[in-house]
């Protein structure tokens, strides 16, 4: 039985709030890859980055769905259901 995401109803048409990790840009820090929250448009760094701002954003807001903000990538992730998502 395939698991499915139960939070897709939270996805909104968002504009990225920045072109880099919002928090890292403020502190002058660096990131590895970027993730965009599909509820509010927050851009944060991935879990391979030392600060893990995308995951911290989820924990503080409970916005469950993010997508890769890397050029050419079309996948996303639901933090709650722990499932990878495909986006067009």
Q: Where are the domains of the chain?
A: 8-86
pLDDT-derived band at 2 (thresholds 50, 70, 90) equals low
CATH H-level, domain 8-86: superfamily:
Zinc/RING finger domain, C3HC4 (zinc finger) (3.30.40.10)
pLDDT in tens, 19-46: 999 999 999 999 999 999 999 999 999 9
Residue 28 CA to residue 5 CA, distance in Å, equals 35
Supply the pLDDT for residue 27: 97
- With 90 as the cut, is the pLDDT of residue 67 above it? yes
pLDDT-derived band at 1 (thresholds 50, 70, 90) equals very low
- With 80 as the cut, is the pLDDT of residue 7 above it? yes
């Amino acid at each position: 039985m395939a698991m499915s995401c139960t939070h897709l109803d939270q996805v909104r048409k968002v504009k990225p709030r920045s072109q880099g990790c919002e928090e890292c840009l403020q502190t002058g820090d660096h990131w590895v890859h970027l993730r965009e929250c599909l509820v509010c448009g927050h851009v944060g760094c991935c879990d391979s980055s030392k600060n893990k701002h995308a995951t911290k954003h989820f924990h503080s807001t409970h916005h469950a769905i993010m997508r890769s903000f890397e050029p050419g990538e079309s996948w996303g992730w639901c933090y709650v259901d722990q499932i990878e998502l495909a986006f067009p």
